[in-house]
Amino acid sequence: MMFTELMKGHDDSEAIFQYMQKQKKDTEKELARAKKQLEQEKQDAIDRIKKDQEDREAEIKEKQDRLMNWDEKMKQEEERHMAEFNKQKNAILEKKRLEQQNEMSRAKNKDELSALMARHEEDIARLETILQQEQRRQMEQMRKIMQERNKEINKQKVER
């Protein structure tokens, strides 16, 4: 505006006025372009920050999923192990019962039969105790192995 008022007094120098007008328009265009470029750079920086934040959130979610998956795998492994152990335990107990039935069928008198029954009950109780101890030992061993495996996996992930 100030430029326009200055130039009003100099009508005789139309060429200078035209030149100054062109310079003014060019400067305004350059200013608009610079503002637009700054706005674009600002938006690009905001987009980068948002993307970095989304990447970090995705990484955290992935880590949480891996931990949940590990817990789930551990539970499944324990359930599978327990089912297999119970199957073995039942097979051992059934075999022992069959042996006891054979012995009882061969027993001749009531005293012999009572002694066999008492011995068989003790045998089964001992077997149950031994099987429970073995089951605990195997579960502890399996947990220890799974924890070591998980530590190794986490160590490798940290090294990456």
Give the percent of the chain with pLDDT over 70. Answer: 90
pLDDT of 28: 93
What is the SS3 string spanning 116-131? HHHHHHHHHHHHHHHH
User: What's the Cα-to-Cα distance from 53 to each of 14, 62, 78, rounded to whole Å?
Assistant: 58, 14, 38
Asked whether 130 and 93 are in contact (CB, 8 A), the reply is no
Condensed to tens digits (0 to 9), the pLDDT of residues 70-123 reads: 778 778 888 888 888 889 888 888 888 888 787 777 767 777 777 878 888 898
pLDDT of 6: 55
